[in-house]
Amino acid sequence: MKFIWIRHGETVWNREFRLQGSSDVELSAEGRRQADCLAARLSERPDKIFTSSLRRAQTFSAPLASRFALEPTVLPELREISFGRWEGMRYADMDDEMQALFERWCADPVNTCPPGGEEGTSFAQRVQKAVNIIMADTAATGTALLVTHGGVIRVAVAMLMGMPPAAAACLQIDTASVTVLEYLSGQWRLVRLNDICHIKTEDC
């Protein structure tokens, strides 16, 4: 079984360094270009496509679904963590107290909760539920393509690779990146992490 994890492309809020979380922000023109680039260059055909319920993921999945003639399954469990009152804010917009809390969250997202947002343990449980659903719906030798968000991918990689939960915060997952995990001989193996070669070619 193979999971191809894809983070959605750029949004305007990504460009402005605003926290998005569960806010339903659409892709920018650049994000749509990134989706087309990936769809043109992804060589491995998936058996199934799953996408977050947020628009930026669904829009990004559309060219991939068209390329492989597959209907994406929308899975709400794949949506990004809720940042509560931080959503739409930049770090520079925060007062000193909120900046201090944000820095604590960056250092320990498992045990620090954004104000009005989703607790790290609840988020991890939701990601685990998504993984369980996808594994149950994918053949043992099948390939699932998952269009989702940076936080989801970080938590999933750490979880499946047996890393400490706090290690998820150390993983770099860029917009439009590809991360591949494969289940072989009873364990998950990390095949690719944060691959963005497809959006850096001269003809893309």
Render pLDDT for 98-114 as a digit per residue (tens, 0 to 9).
Answer: 999 999 999 889 889 99
Task: Write the DSSP assignment of 71-88 as a string of letters.
Answer: PPEE-GGGSPPP-GGGTT
**Which one is the CATH code of 2-199: 3.20.20.120, 2.40.50.140, 1.10.260.40, 3.40.50.1240?**
3.40.50.1240
**Which residues are paired to 109 by β-bridges?**
none
113-145 per-position pLDDT tens digit: 999 999 999 999 999 999 999 999 998 899 999
User: How many CB atoms neighbour CB 186 within 10 A?
Assistant: 5
Q: What is the domain partition of the chain in residue ranges? A: 2-199
Full-model pTM:
0.95
Kindly tell me the sign of the dihedral angle through the C-alpha atoms of 48, 164, 179, 5.
positive
What is the structure's pLDDT at 139? 87
Distance separating alpha carbons of residues 36 and 13, to the nearest angstrom: 20
Kindly tell me the sign of the dihedral angle through the C-alpha atoms of 12, 15, 16, 21.
positive
Could you give the C-alpha distances from 146 to 1, 31, 43, 65, 90, in angstroms and in order?
13, 17, 15, 11, 28
Distance separating alpha carbons of residues 6 and 168, to the nearest angstrom: 16
What is the structure's pLDDT at 155? 97
